[in-house]
Amino acid sequence: MKRNYKRQTKVKLAVYGKGGIGKSTTSCNISVALAKRGKKVLQIGCDPKHDSTFTLTGFLIPTIIDTLQEKDYHYEDVWPEDVIYKGYGGVDCVEAGGPPAGAGCGGYVVGETVKLLKELNAFDEYDVILFDVLGDVVCGGFAAPLNYADYCLIVTDNGFDALFAANRIAASVREKARTHPLRLAGLIGNRTVKRDLIEKYIEAVPMPVLEVLPLIEDIRVSRVKGKTLFEMAESDPSLEYVCDYYLSIADQILARPEGVVPNDAPDRELFSLLSDF
């Protein structure tokens, strides 16, 4: 009998963080950085905002949930090309989408997305799959991508709210790590030069910090232009230094770090740790 030598996905990343902190921007640029290192990458937007892959494709691609609704939930009528779009640098892009506003469950949508992609055998083709997930509320639904991931990356700034969300995510990772081979690869600081609160936090809850990116006007502009920094750097080589941040993160991930199973600080402890009183 012939054996089926299917290619196994090598790294599954889940990028979490507070809304608006820069998850999608960071995810798209990390995806391109991984592609530049020769990896075949799939980025899955799991935020109901469904703009995760915008800077990769330059437009808002149709979501899985919209496509499924259109096909009356007949999975067998959905083709990979209906839901997987080519982005810059050869990165493949999927948007899970969200439930109707004020109704339904975002986690259900993530579950349906994974189910459909598995039915399309889409998971086996990739070296890296990156889930870009909203991390304000890590309810069971939004924690679902952690069931499929090897590594969690948290994007935060140097402020209380994002670190508070980071701590909730750390708690979810610890919980999932009981039953899954999941590790926290670490924090990515974004839009900040100050890192005193980040340092305070990791003293209480030890975890690696992969990079800290400052506020860079060209990153803000990249969102408006619908381009990653790598695409912008093609016509403006002065931006290559920004790409280097993302390449460094990609290289650290590809080195398969040991990562940590974090402890998390109790909420009240975190309040006093990160406040002046």
Size of the site for ligand ADP (CB under 6 A): 17
| Nearest residue to 187 (alpha-carbon basis) of 161, 220, 222, 151 | 151
Q: Does 57 bind Mg ion (CB under 5 A)?
A: no
What's the rounded Cα separation, in Å, for the pair 67 and 70? 5
| Cα separation of the two ends of the chain | 69
Give the three-state DSSP class for 6.
Answer: coil
Query: According to the binding rule CB under 6 A, does residue 25 interact with ligand ADP?
Result: yes
Residue 50 found at the interface with ligand ADP (CB under 6 A): no
Amino acid present at 102:
G
Q: What are the backbone angles phi and psi of residue 27, rounded to the nearest 5°? A: -60, -50
Tokens of 77: 């009528």
Whichever of 62 and 257 has its CB closer to Mg ion, that residue is: 62
Binder among 12, 24, 163, 259 for Mg ion (CB under 5 A): 24
What residues act catalytically? 18, 23, 49, 136
Kindly tell me which residue out of 10, 19, 123, 161 binds ligand ADP, with binding defined by CB under 6 A: 19
Instruction: Name the nearest CA neighbour of 64 among 171, 56, 73.
Output: 73
Q: Which is nearer to ligand ADP, 116 or 219 (CB)?
A: 219
The residue (of 57 and 190) whose beta carbon lies closer to ligand ADP is 190
> Residue 178, class by beta-carbon neighbours within 10 Å (0-12 exposed, 13-18 middle, 19+ buried)?
exposed
Q: Which is nearer to ligand ADP, 50 or 183 (CB)?
A: 50
Looking at 22-30, 60-68, 98-106, 246-254, which segment touches ligand ADP (CB under 6 A)?
22-30
Q: Would you say 109 or 270 has its CB closer to Mg ion? A: 109
Position among 11, 12, 14, 23 found at the interface with ligand ADP (CB under 6 A): 23
Nearest to 216 by CA among 74, 34, 63, 25: 25
Interaction of residue 195 with ligand ADP, rule CB under 6 A: no
Q: Which of 176, 183, 191, 227 binds ligand ADP (CB under 6 A)?
A: 191
For position 227 contacting ligand ADP by CB under 6 A, the verdict is no
d(CA 234, CA 229): 9
By a kind-dependent CB cut-off of 5 to 8 A, residue 219 interacts, out of Mg ion, ligand ADP, none, with ligand ADP
Q: Cα–Cα distances in Å, from 264 out to 17, 134, 275? A: 15, 19, 17
Q: Which residues bind ligand ADP (CB under 6 A)?
A: 17, 19-25, 190-191, 213, 215-216, 219-220, 222-223
